[in-house]
Amino acid sequence: MIKAVLFDLDGTLVNSLEDLANATNFALSSMGFPCRELGEYNYLVGDGIPKLIERALPEGAKTPENSKKCLDIFMAYYREHYHDKTYAYKGVKELISALKQDGLKTAVVSNKAQEMAQKVAEKLFGNMFDAVAGKREGFAAKPDPALTLEIVRELGVKPDECALIGDSGMDMAAAVNGGLLPIGVLWGFRTEKELINNGAAYTVSSPDEILNIINLKNGRKK
For 10-22, how does the pLDDT look when each residue is reduced to its tens digit (9 = 90+)? 999 999 999 999 9
pLDDT in tens, 185-203: 999 999 999 999 999 999 9
Residue 8 falls in the annotated catalytic set: yes
Of the candidates 198, 63, 137, the one whose C-alpha atom is nearest the C-alpha of residue 184 is 198
Q: Of the residues 8, 10, 19, 47, which is catalytic?
A: 8
Would you kindly state where each structural domain of the chain is located, as residue ranges? 4-15+86-217, 17-81
pTM to 2 decimal places = 0.93
Share of the chain above pLDDT 70, in %: 99
pLDDT in tens, 109-167: 999 989 999 999 999 999 999 999 999 989 999 999 999 999 999 999 999 999 999 99
CATH class of residue range 4-15+86-217: alpha beta
Summary mean pLDDT of the chain: 96
Average pLDDT (23-33) is 98
Max intra-chain CA distance, the chain = 58
CB 6 within 8 A of CB 163: yes
Per CATH, domain 17-81 is 1.10.150: yes
d(CA 113, CA 63): 21
Q: Three-state secondary structure along 58-115? A: CCCCCCHHHHHHHHHHHHHHHHHHCCCCCEECCCHHHHHHHHHHCCCEEEEEEEEEHH
pLDDT band at 221 (very low <50, low <70, confident <90, very high): low
Report strand pairing: 131-135 vs 162-166. Answer: unpaired
